[in-house]
Structure formats: structure tokens, C-alpha cells
Amino acid sequence: MGKLFGTDGVRGITFTELTPELAFKVSAATCTHFGEGSRLLVGRDVRIGGSMLESAVVSGLLFSGCKPVLLGYIPTPGLQYNVAVDDSVDGGIMITASHNPPEYNGLKVIDSDGIEIPRWKEDEIEKIIFEDRIRPRKWDAGVDKVDSKTDALDTYLRGILARIDVQAIRRREYKVIVDAANSVGSLSVPSVVKSLGGKVITLNGHLDPTFPGREPEPTPASLTVASKMVLNEKADMGVGLDGDADRSIFIDDKGRVLWGDRLAIPLAIFLSRKHLELPRRVYTGVSSSFFIEEPLKREGIEVVWMRVGSVDISRRLASEGGLMGFEENGGTMYPLHHPVRDAAMTTALVMEMLATERRSLSELIDSYYPKTYTIKTKIPMPRKRAIKVLEIVKEHYKGNRIVDIDGVKILKNDSWLLVRPSGTEPVLRIMIEAKDESKAIDLLEEVKSLINQAG
């Protein structure tokens, strides 16, 4: 049996890999799984093919007897929040490929709790497709109707503000640069900043499926303009969004682009003081830096390491409780709002943290995180060869502490490296961090040499 779901939904190149036929099958199988009569929200980001895929998804749901409700353009966490708070809704399908290049699109299936379906449900939907168990509804099974929900975005934004000390933040009048990546984040994050009394300067704020401003994945390389604008405008911070506005990478007042695991240290400590009732633990994937452990443990906060994938982190956070979940790529999950990645919620939390601590973002980062040098790169590679590379890397570094929950992570006293196949693209991801720049460069060259041994 084939595999359709990756680390985060079903994705592929629009028109050739992710076709209307496939979208129809996935949605019809999703309806079959949820059950005839289920009411499912359908939203989308700005990507090319979105209208086509939306029509295919709606057709698949209607074919198998479900009731689609269209939200139109909306961030992924916006759709998820509406599923969670609306008792009349059974789940949802979000049409997005998140951070992937413009030629990609995808489908995320959302469960009744507003979190992406667990892995076993992905397997079940795949079985329904590959075992040809999709069945049409009876012709007289009810009204063939597509509804629309026009207040979904407002419901989502109100939910964020309800979790924040709005008045305390408004008094600070923060200036924030928002790079919205020409997608649906422009509908949420600037609005949240304004509601919190901030002055917003927006980059790439118009909707454009070709992502002309920058690639939809927020990285130090893609956020150079935003970084310079933070300095030029003397802003308090900047935030760069991905294509569906569930991930956010922050820029401090010194113009430094902060990976999500670095931001998570002061944010987790802030949340531990704000919410004494929550378990003092955080959840993150193995791609996060191991340098986060020491400052968090000093505050009595446990770090729970997991395989890469926001779905698994969200579900663990929801079932066991904790302060937050996070990923180095900028995914941050706040359980008291909704335990899923949410760029707008994270932006509001960071603004509240600054207002409460009365310190700049750069001061908070520097007080907790050591000075290190990071290298993140990816190499196009079929999965079969990537698995061979993992075996070679593991053998080469067998004298070191090794974590192989997901890929192979090598831990040294002053550095660490991670080599893992991507769950969304045919690439091998390499992450290296060291307290010495030359050490980081040497490790990269060493890994490249090992890759060459894989043929």
C-alpha cells in the first residue's frame, strides 16, 4: 500500500502530483472516516491551485455525504480554532503546503478537537483510498448544500485576545515589523498587533500565490529585509510568517533572526511564572538545540524530546499538559488557547512577555542562551539514499551520545549535529550548532564527506 500523508498532511506539486482527483479521494475518504452527515470546515491559503483543490475537496465531501462549510482565506490555526470551539463542527480540511515552495500545495485533515488527525487516522484514510472503500451517499440522503462561515477569522482573533493582558501591552505601544510572506498571515498577525496597541509596519502584506517577496519559509536568509527594517525603524521586534501562518520566526531589536528554540527559553520561563497551575514541562522535536536544556532546567522546567512533527507534539501537549510545545522552525503551541502552532497567538504572547518583563527581546535572549554558531542546510536526496547516510553517520560517531528518535543526532560537549530525511520533501536536512564557528564549519564538511560515502 502506498503512503500519502507525510510529516504534516498530504503534499505535492500542484497539477502533477496533487491533482483534483487525489484531493477528491482524500476528502471523500476523510468523509468516510468521519461518517456520513459530518460537518467539516474547509479553508485555504493563497497558493496556486487553491480554488481548484477547494472545489475537489467540496465535491469529495458531498459525494460521501458530508457537509462542507467554506471559510475562504484563513490561517491554518484559524480554521483549527474554529473547529475546536464550534460544537456543530466535526472536523476540517485545510488546503495548504505551509512552507513549501510556490509550486506545492497540500491538504491537512483536522480532527474534532481542532488538532491535526493522529497518525493512526492518517493510516485509516489511506486504507480507505487504497482498498477502494470510498462509497457515494444515497441520492436521497439529504440536501446537497455547501455552507459558508463568514465570521471565522473574527472568532479566531477574539480567542487570541481573550488570553492576553491587553491593557498592559497597549501601554507599551510596541513597534513591530511583520513579514507576512504574501499569504494569509497578513489577515491575522497585523490585526493582533494593532489590537494590542502596537504600530505595525507590514512587508509582503498583499496576497500573491507566487510569493514574490520571499520564499514562504521564514529563515535568516529570507528575512534579511525584515531584519534591516527592524534596525532602520528602531522597532521592538519583527516577525516572519510561513505560508499558512502557523509558524513564526522572530527578529529581536538588534536585528537578529531567532530560531524558535531560542525564543522558547524566555517564553517558557515567562509562561511558568504566569501559569503556576501548569505542569513545568515543554515538548519539542529533536531538531531543536540541546543548548536549551540547561537554562530551562535551572528554572525547574523539564524538556521532553520527541520526533520531528508538530502533530505529535500537539497531541502529547494536549494529553499530558505542559507550558508549551515548540519547534526550532518557529512552530509554537500554547495549550491554554489551543495546542497547535499559531503565529498570531505567539506574537501576542511575545508582546505580553516584553510588557511583563520590562526588558527588550535581545536582553531576554542574551540572558539565557549562549553565543553559538548555527548551520542549517538541505541536500536533495531520495529517501533510500538518505537512510543509508544515517547508517554511515551513526557508525562514524558511535563513540558519542546519540539520539535516534528521528534521524541521527550526535551530541558533543561544545556542539551537536542532526541529520534526518525530510518528511515533506525529498531532501536530507542537516543542522549543526557549535560554540565555535570553525567547529561548526568543520562538522559540516565532515558530514558532507560521509554523505559522499553513501554513493
Q: What is the pLDDT of residues 254-268, one digit of tens each?
A: 999 999 999 999 999
Q: How far apart are CA 276 and CA 80, in angstroms?
A: 27
Low-confidence ranges of the chain (pLDDT < 50): none
**In the beta sheet, which residues pair with residue 240?**
179, 249
Catalytic residue among 27, 38, 64, 98: 98
Strand order in the sheet with 257-258: 199-203, 175-179, 237-241, 248-251, 257-258
- What pLDDT score was predicted for residue 146? 93
CA–CA distances in Å: residue 129 to residues 24, 132, 226, 437: 10, 5, 44, 49
Q: How far apart are CA 328 and CA 124, in angstroms?
A: 30
Q: Which three cell numbers stand for residue 41?
A: 470546515
CATH of domain 173-368: 3.40.120.10
- What pLDDT score was predicted for residue 1? 56
pLDDT tens per residue across span 297-342: 999 999 999 988 899 999 999 999 999 999 999 999 999 999 999 9
Contact between 129 and 30 (Cβ < 8 Å): no
- What pLDDT score was predicted for residue 143? 66
**Could you confirm whether 98 is annotated as catalytic?**
yes
Kindly indicate whether the domain formed by 5-150 is annotated with CATH number 3.40.120.10: yes
Residue with cell 493510516: 123
Closest CA to 75 of 161, 153, 191: 153
Compute CA 162 distance to the chain's CA centroid, rounded to the nearest angstrom. Answer: 22
The HSE-up count of residue 285 (CA atoms within 13 Å, CB side) is 26
Helical H segments across 133-287, by residue range: 152-161, 166-170, 189-195, 224-232, 260-274
> Domain map of the chain by residue range?
5-150, 173-368, 373-453
- What pLDDT score was predicted for residue 453? 86
| Shared fold status for 5-150 and 173-368 | yes
CATH of domain 373-453: 3.30.310.50
What value does the mean pLDDT of the chain take?
A: 95
